[in-house]
């Protein structure tokens, strides 16, 4: 016994991850806990164990959601928030992609920009908020700047890495075959770089969404985050929970949407996953 | 590429290039302020930031705010790690626990962390408890998921061997699961330290003000003291960098045995 246990600690985890117990969740089993939670929640609020003001019942949340939808507030808030998100995200990508390409392609640009870029990236986004507030005020520009900054960092870093990691052999092969500029892009550059660049784009979108919520909680007069902060002030917890659900679902859809685009593009251009 | 080939001259050039951009920005800023192209009272200037730095460093308020934040961060992150680790191990070891809780956790992960602030401020309170709870939540999630991944990364043959040797659950945990999952666990702790600090700053913005570097920087913003804001920003960034470095080095130090075992 003692001998075997002495041998055992020398466990060497494999460098590549094992694909073993990808949890084959049956939908049924996955539903047990949510249903149970919902049941307890309904029971507790129906029996008045916790005041309705503190814990609204599931039914109240549904009703609050209904009110939000029929009053048009939900749709207009979503519209405003998504507009901000995509504008800011677009700016972030518009700066981040070229910046990443530039740093990967030109050693001089890399040496010039990379240290400053990483120093800026190291300061948490939230610490930039007051700084940007002084510079931009608390209007629309502030929100766009913060969302763009949230997307910029992962997009730039992953783009730079993606291009730097193109296998040399591929590029040489392309030169050997005297591929045209366009064919080289289509057959070599895109397949080699699409998957890692999309990692950055996906991460950037998720972080941009989180940044949007923060900045709307902090300083906004419209949008989902603002309505969330408002429901806190008015002590309407049913509305609050309904809004949290909406924010979660939209974040989920955004993430899956980018994953879907990634899948289609990789299938179209081929890629090394 | 290799370090042996870089001559001191090139290293100096690299350093000069790295400093060129910050230097250019700082001097442009200073020049604009000196020649009154921008209003120095609103836009500050590098010289003013320098003054603010010495002012802050000798200001007891700054230090009490700073230490309040660090203490809050340590409490929340500590609780988060202590709760996240067993949860992650249980998820990794038991298919039943996974089947039950992974959907709930995935749903939780989809909600951006700051969305919880209003709800927590009602349920737990807008003061210190709410903040610490929020920080703990932010720190616990990465620990749970990284620990889970760490347990999955254990090669099945080691677990089979443990079963073959009829090792008890505790011995298996101590001798196989914990060492095998250690890279994942440490990665989770690393992330928890970074997220915890981020959540600390965010909590101080969004919950009721109660002392802290986050309240300090927001106070400076309200007074339009960009110089003080920049100093606080640097302090916040520095803590993040130090946490990152400390966690990274601890990780490498604790995982030395792996490289030995592999070579």
- pLDDT bracket for residue A272 (50, 70, 90): low
Record: contact A127-B232, CB cut-off 8 A: yes
Q: What per-residue confidence (pLDDT) applies to A4?
A: 39
Residues on chain A touching B9 (C-beta within 8 angstroms): none
Q: Are B33 and B44 in contact (CB under 8 A)?
A: yes
pLDDT band at A7 (very low <50, low <70, confident <90, very high): very low
Å from B169 to nearest chain A CA? 13
For B162, name the nearest residue in chain A, comparing CA atoms only: A8
Query: pLDDT tens digits, chain B, 263 residues: what are they?
Result: 444 555 667 888 888 888 888 888 888 888 888 888 887 777 788 888 888 888 888 888 999 999 999 999 999 999 999 999 999 999 988 888 888 888 888 888 888 999 999 999 999 988 899 999 999 999 999 999 999 999 998 888 888 888 888 888 888 888 888 888 999 999 999 999 999 999 999 999 999 878 899 999 998 888 888 889 999 999 999 999 999 999 999 998 988 887 766 55
Residue of A219, B11, A82 whose CA lies nearest to A74: A82
CB contact (8 A) between residue B153 and residue A5: no
How far from B85 is each of A177, B102, B173, B185, B258, CA to CA, in Å?
54, 15, 13, 8, 21
Closest CB to B205 among A108, A119, A218:
A218
Interchain pair A248, B100: CB under 8 A: no
Residue B41 burial (CB count, 10 A): 11
pLDDT computed for residue A265 by the predictor: 83
For residues A11 and B154, the answer to whether their CB atoms sit within 8 Å is yes
Question: Are A122 and B237 in contact (CB < 8 Å)?
Answer: yes
Taking contacts as CB-CB distances below 8 angstroms, the residues of chain A near B107 are 34, 248
- Tens of pLDDT, residue by residue over A176-189, are 888 887 787 778 88
Model's pTM, two decimal places?
Answer: 0.85
- Option in B123, B158, B218 nearest A54 (CB): B123
Q: Which pair of tokens denotes residue A142? A: 């502030």
3-state secondary structure B136-175: HHHHHHHHHHHHHHHHHCCCHHHHHHHHHCCCCHHHHHHH
pLDDT: which is higher, A144 or A263: A144
> Inter-chain contact B155–A14, Cβ cutoff 8 Å?
yes
CB–CB contact B226 A131 (8 Å): yes
For B17, the closest of A13, A112, A248 (CB atoms) is A112
For residue A48, is pLDDT > 80? no
Is the pLDDT score of A27 beyond 60? yes
Residue-wise pLDDT for A74-89, tens only, equals: 999 999 999 999 999 9
The band of A273, judged by pLDDT with boundaries at 50, 70 and 90, is very low
- Binning pLDDT at 50, 70 and 90, where does residue A135 land? confident
Question: Following DSSP, what letter does each residue of A151-170 receive, concatenated?
Answer: HHHHHHHHHHHHHHTS-HHH
Size (chain B), residues? 263
Residue B178 Cα, gap to closest chain A Cα (Å): 9
Contact (CB, 8 A) for A96 and A159: yes
Most A CBs within 10 Å: which of B93, B165, B197, B229, as the mutation test of the A interface?
B229
Give the gap in angstroms from C-alpha B90 to the nearest C-alpha of chain A.
14
b/e A165-176 (16+ beta carbons within 10 angstroms → b): ebeeebeeebee
- What domains can you pick out in chain B, each with its CATH number? 60-254 (1.10.3720.10)
A227 → chain B, closest CA residue: B118
Partners of residue B119 in chain A, C-beta under 8 Å: 237, 240-241, 244
**Closest-CA residue of chain A to B200:** A126
Best interface-test mutation with A: which of B114, B170, B174, B236 has the largest number of A CBs within 10 A? Answer: B114
- Span A202-218, pLDDT tens digits: 999 999 999 999 999 98
Percent of chain A as helix, strand, coil, to the nearest 5: 80, 0, 20
Residue to substitute from B17, B73, B170, interface A, most A β-carbons within 10 A: B17
Q: Cβ separation of B232 and A10 shorter than 8 Å? A: no
Residues in chain A: 273
CA distance A232 to chain B (A): 6
Rounded to two decimals, the ipTM of the complex is: 0.84
Return the C-alpha torsion angle B15, B18, B19, B24, nearest 10.
150
Q: What is the pLDDT of residue A91?
A: 97
| More confident site: B188 or A45 | B188
Nearest chain B alpha carbon to A205? B112
Cβ contacts of B138 on chain A, cutoff 8 Å: none
In this complex, do A30 and B261 lie within 8 Å of one another by their Cβ atoms? no
pLDDT averaged over every residue in chain A: 84
Report how many Cβ contacts below 8 Å link chain A to chain B. Answer: 189
């Amino acid at each position: 016994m003692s001998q075997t246990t002495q041998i055992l600690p020398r466990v060497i985890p494999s460098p590549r991850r094992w694909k073993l117990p990808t949890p084959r969740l049956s939908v049924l089993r996955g539903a047990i806990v949510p249903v149970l939670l919902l049941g307890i929640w309904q029971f507790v609020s129906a029996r008045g164990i916790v005041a309705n003001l503190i814990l609204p019942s599931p039914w109240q949340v549904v009703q609050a959601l209904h009110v939000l939808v029929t009053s048009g507030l939900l749709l207009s808030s979503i519209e405003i928030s998504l507009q901000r998100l995509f504008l800011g995200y677009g700016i972030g990508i518009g700066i981040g992609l070229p910046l990443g390409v530039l740093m990967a392609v030109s050693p001089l640009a890399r040496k010039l920009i990379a240290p400053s870029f990483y120093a800026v990236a190291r300061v948490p986004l939230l610490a930039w908020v007051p700084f940007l507030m002084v510079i931009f005020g608390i209007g629309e520009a502030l929100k766009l700047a913060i969302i763009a900054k949230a997307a910029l960092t992962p997009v730039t870093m992953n783009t730079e890495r993606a291009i730097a990691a193109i296998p040399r052999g591929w590029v040489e092969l392309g030169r050997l075959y005297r591929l045209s500029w366009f064919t080289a892009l289509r057959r070599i550059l895109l397949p080699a770089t699409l998957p890692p660049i999309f990692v950055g784009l996906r991460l950037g979108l998720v972080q941009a969404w989180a940044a949007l919520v923060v900045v709307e909680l902090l300083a906004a007069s419209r949008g989902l985050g603002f309505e969330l902060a408002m429901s806190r002030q008015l002590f309407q917890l049913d509305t609050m929970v309904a809004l949290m659900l909406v924010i979660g679902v939209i974040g989920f859809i955004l993430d899956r949407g980018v994953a879907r685009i990634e899948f289609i593009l990789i299938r179209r251009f081929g890629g090394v996953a | 590429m290799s370090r042996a080939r870089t001559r001191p001259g090139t290293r100096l050039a690299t350093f000069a290039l790295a400093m060129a951009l910050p230097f250019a920005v700082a001097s442009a800023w200073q020049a604009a302020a000196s020649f009154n192209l921008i209003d120095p009272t609103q836009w500050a200037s590098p010289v003013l930031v320098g003054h603010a730095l010495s002012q802050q460093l000798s200001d007891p308020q700054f230090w009490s705010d700073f230490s309040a934040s660090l203490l809050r961060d340590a409490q929340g992150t500590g609780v988060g790690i202590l709760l996240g680790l067993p949860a992650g191990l249980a998820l990794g070891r038991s298919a039943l626990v996974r089947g039950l809780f992974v959907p709930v956790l995935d749903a939780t992960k989809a909600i951006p962390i700051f969305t919880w602030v209003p709800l927590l401020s009602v349920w737990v309170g807008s003061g210190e408890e709410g903040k610490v709870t929020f920080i703990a939540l932010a720190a616990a999630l990465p620990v749970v998921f990284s620990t889970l991944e760490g347990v999955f990364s254990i090669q099945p043959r080691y677990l089979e061997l443990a079963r073959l040797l009829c090792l008890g659950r505790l011995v298996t945990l101590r001798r196989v699961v914990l060492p095998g999952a250690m890279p994942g666990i440490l990665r989770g702790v690393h992330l928890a330290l970074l997220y915890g600090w981020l959540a600390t700053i965010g909590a101080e913005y969004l919950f009721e003000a109660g002392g802290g570097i986050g309240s300090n920087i927001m106070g400076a913003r309200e007074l339009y003291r960009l110089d003080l804001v920049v100093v606080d920003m640097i302090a916040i960034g520095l803590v993040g960098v130090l946490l990152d470095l400390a966690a990274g080095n601890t990780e490498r130090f604790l995982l030395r045995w792996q490289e030995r075992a592999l070579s």
